[in-house]
Structure 1
Amino acid sequence: MNIEHLVTMANQIGTFFDSYPDREEASTEIANHLKRYWAPRMRNQLFEHIDHEQGAGLSPLVLVAIAAHRGEKPSPPPPGGDAG
């Protein structure tokens, strides 16, 4: 998949969770969304972009979320589904 498209999609997820008043919760939910719904190949491309291009084009919140939660397993979805 095209990295520009992945960056755009990651930033859209970040924009949604940016409305959360708790920054830690927003960061966790961004990471959980990427882990739950993105194929490993997509996440790996995004990680390579961060490692080689310093995440050019990614929002600061998305970069923080990925850096903080990159190696963790996602939390289970909340009852009734995921808001993201």
Structure 2
Amino acid sequence: MANDIGAFFASEADQAVAAEGIRQHIRRFWDPRMRSAIVAYFKETGGVELEGPVRAAIQRLAEETTAKA
């Protein structure tokens, strides 16, 4: 599902802007359990199946989670 969101942002030339848009979308619209699951997946696998800006977005979410803990 995260890669599908990333596909929406694929037309954005600036990958950092795309990653931020993806991060904001996930924070606003995903249930906290879904966010926790994708962050856990990222921490376990490095986000191997996540595409470019999606991986960057999830990495930022993971960093936010770590900073709050």
TM value normalised by structure 1: 0.67
Q: Which runs of 5+ in 2 are unaligned?
A: none
> RMSD in angstroms over aligned alpha carbons?
1.5
Structure 1 or 2: more helix by fraction: 2
- The 2-side partners of 1:53 and 1:24 are apart by 22
- The 2-side partners of 1:27 and 1:40 are apart by 19
Moved over 2 A (4+): none
Q: How many residues of Structure 1 are paired with residues of Structure 2 in the alignment?
A: 63
Query: Which structure would you say has the larger Rg?
Result: 1
Match of 2:56 in 1: 64
Q: Which runs of 5+ in 1 are unaligned?
A: 1-8, 73-84
Q: Percent identity among equivalent residues? A: 37
Task: Give the letter aligned to residue 29 of structure 2.
Answer: Y
